[in-house]
Structure 1
């Protein structure tokens, strides 16, 4: 092929699909393949991926721990916005893709590669997220998406290709997977196969990161989260790194059955999809962040953030992390977080995250102003409310008087 790539950076998990993709790239394009495996907290030993890549003849292999960067530069900025897609989804898969894509482009530039490759299918959102990020970071990059090119259209065909090319297949990968899983430090998602009927309640074995609320401890746990400028910085007074904070909150969420979600969402490519999401630490963090904002953020900023959030969430879900409009919104969100500093106390109990206290030196809350008792504040006159109400009622009165 005249425009065949010379060198390709493959996002490589070491699993069956990406191992087949690796060999397919070598056979189809006769190109050199560089593998990149990211540790985003998925909870797997990544050394087998390195060894398998070596076995398949790869000379340049990148296996990198990106957990801190993932939480600090992607998860935390998103959480400053209280981001939820379609009102419920904390975007655990969506927010990981731009980091993987960014690192692939960096590795391509380091190694002189002229192409990048991902293993996303042609039906999902991930192909869009990867490729929008690639193009935003390196407009002239060549992109290879095997699932849109090859004729390996069934699992049987994949297994036959693997056996023909002596690609090791784990015993648990020979049968048809009952559902697919994506995981990182923020969440685990499950979809497909046994989950495709939205009426059917998911079996307990599908959940991997949380106990069921019924099995969770009968004794509630209390946790205090400290914030500085909108980011969590401590747990129970102990200063911790971003990834360590999320790891600790994940364990607490797991133990108390927090963070399960069963939703039918609207994919960017046009179809609806049923997915199960587990975001234990993220759910706790989301509730805590809203609580600290409740005492530190001005009403106008709070309400404007709530109006902007769905647009911001949709940009991330659809793959526009590196777009100028997302960066513009991020600047506004980050400006709003200058005084979002303080601490929140939460009670965790059987699937519930309950705010029981919030405190800040930057607090806008004043008991003197809000109390029903005798107040020390002399500036508030109850009589002022009459004019305030009458002015706000003027348009309502006029409508009734003029239109009956």
Structure 2
């Protein structure tokens, strides 16, 4: 405990959830009563920030920074990831998008405040501990990092609630609704309780379970049409109304949520080696990814598109595994940016009970030629294909002649 008592000031990544709420009194008890600077990154989680300052100070923090990081997250992380088409095992990387931006700001505030350490509430079983700590090491390699879940004797969320009740820490949850959740503008994740058994169906229709939308079963019987405009791979308008990228996501969240879009139930492979069952809500992001993919179909050449789909797996791994601030990720982003030079146009989609149906796409940069591909008369000379096939199939022809003993 001698080393711990040297800590005078700690910057805490503070969400106001169960984990970080009890960390404040725990730090006071176990690290020599340090000053605690709480930092909450506003990444579009909405009402979760209500009353946060009062709660942080009441539980022992000296102050709370609420940092608006939403546009930075969308513009600098989400849009480049979407342009690459990055998905991790079909998961659209919601939590992973926010962590590097929040961690970078934690370091900036820690340096401003002269803090001795940065503390986070990530468990020792999850991916977020890696994401936070790699970003912190990138910008403050000598900063001490405190991860209470790797130190304290608390074994689970029931014991966390016991600790909170014993220390008069107010909570918005109960033992019965104690899902582990993470929310930002892009998504909402649900883990724990009945979801820990993959045999259990998520209770999508149960009131209060879904927060960003409704179950497809409860969605309207009539479809909703939406158009999305892109300029060089960046979304710039919805239904003809120009807006910044974060507002595009907000608008698509509204439309997608109302139509039951973007629900994902998967058992994913965590970085730390175990499989984890999660239910994700990503209504706007699911629409945006689809619209972007549809536009790329007519604006990107085959070789580039195929190479991008291969690199997208590596890019998603980097994001998921906390390696956003690395030379490889930056190099891959440069590649993705280059591929977007002609990804300009308008995509029309039909949203219906959890489904996204393509309803049309146009682009001034299209590579699609109706004249070339039509079944009717065109400028394409079909006789040209005979020579092409002969040359393309020449290795196969030679192989067959050798097997038949006819090769000259």
Q: Under TM normalisation by the shorter chain, which class is it?
A: over 0.9
Per-residue CA distance 1:217-241 (angstroms, 9 max, x = gap)? 1111111100011011101111111
Answering whether residue 130 of structure 2 is matched by residue 128 of structure 1, we say yes
Question: Displacement of 1:403 after TM fit?
Answer: 4.6
- In the alignment, what sits opposite 2:152? 150
- In the alignment, what sits opposite 2:347? 344
**Equivalent position to 2:230, from 212, 227, 231:** 227
Question: Displacement of 1:121 after TM fit?
Answer: 0.5
The separation in 1 between residues aligned to 2:125 and 2:403, in whole angstroms, is 54
The separation in 2 between residues aligned to 1:120 and 1:316, in whole angstroms, is 17
Per-residue CA distance 1:332-359 (angstroms, 9 max, x = gap)? 0011111111111111111111111111
Between 158-167 and 194-203, report the one with greater CA deviation: 158-167
Per-residue CA distance 1:230-279 (angstroms, 9 max, x = gap)? 01110111111111111110011111111111111111111111111111
1:403–1:200: structure 2 CA closer, same or farther, 3 Å change rule? Answer: farther
The separation in 1 between residues aligned to 2:156 and 2:187, in whole angstroms, is 28
- In the alignment, what sits opposite 2:185? 185
* Divergent runs of 4+, >6 A: none
Answering whether residue 74 of structure 2 is matched by residue 71 of structure 1, we say yes
- Unaligned 5+ residue runs, structure 2? none
Question: Displacement of 1:160 after TM fit?
Answer: 4.1
Is the Cα–Cα contact under 8 Å of residues 233 and 292 in structure 2 kept in the other structure?
A: yes
Question: Displacement of 1:326 after TM fit?
Answer: 0.8
Is the Cα–Cα contact under 8 Å of residues 189 and 277 in structure 1 kept in the other structure?
A: yes
The separation in 2 between residues aligned to 1:45 and 1:382, in whole angstroms, is 63
The separation in 2 between residues aligned to 1:136 and 1:118, in whole angstroms, is 16
- In the alignment, what sits opposite 1:34? 37
Q: How much is the aligned-residue C-alpha RMSD, in angstroms?
A: 1.7
**Equivalent position to 2:211, from 208, 217, 223:** 208
- In the alignment, what sits opposite 2:260? 257
Aligned residues: 398
Matches within 5 A, 1:3-402: 4-30=6-32, 31-86=34-89, 88-170=90-172, 172-173=173-174, 175-204=175-204, 205=206, 206-375=209-378, 377=379, 380-402=380-402
Between 312-321 and 12-21, report the one with greater CA deviation: 12-21
Question: Displacement of 1:402 after TM fit?
Answer: 3.2
The separation in 2 between residues aligned to 1:346 and 1:193, in whole angstroms, is 36
Between 270-279 and 54-63, report the one with greater CA deviation: 54-63
1:367–1:37: structure 2 CA closer, same or farther, 3 Å change rule? Answer: same
1:198–1:156: structure 2 CA closer, same or farther, 3 Å change rule? Answer: closer
Question: Displacement of 1:163 after TM fit?
Answer: 3.9
Question: Displacement of 1:282 after TM fit?
Answer: 0.6
Question: Displacement of 1:193 after TM fit?
Answer: 1.9
The separation in 2 between residues aligned to 1:169 and 1:301, in whole angstroms, is 50
1:57–1:214: structure 2 CA closer, same or farther, 3 Å change rule? Answer: closer
Query: TM-score, structure 2 length as denominator?
Result: 0.93
The separation in 1 between residues aligned to 2:22 and 2:219, in whole angstroms, is 41
Is the Cα–Cα contact under 8 Å of residues 345 and 358 in structure 1 kept in the other structure?
A: yes
1:221–1:7: structure 2 CA closer, same or farther, 3 Å change rule? Answer: same
Is the Cα–Cα contact under 8 Å of residues 84 and 90 in structure 1 kept in the other structure?
A: yes
Per-residue CA distance 1:156-208 (angstroms, 9 max, x = gap)? 543443344333345x43x2545321111111111122012212211222333
The separation in 2 between residues aligned to 1:6 and 1:74, in whole angstroms, is 34
Question: Displacement of 1:77 after TM fit?
Answer: 1.1
Is the Cα–Cα contact under 8 Å of residues 14 and 50 in structure 1 kept in the other structure?
A: no
Per the alignment, in what secondary structure is the counterpart of residue 255 of structure 2?
helix
1:162–1:220: structure 2 CA closer, same or farther, 3 Å change rule? Answer: closer
- Unaligned 5+ residue runs, structure 1? none
Question: Displacement of 1:67 after TM fit?
Answer: 1.9
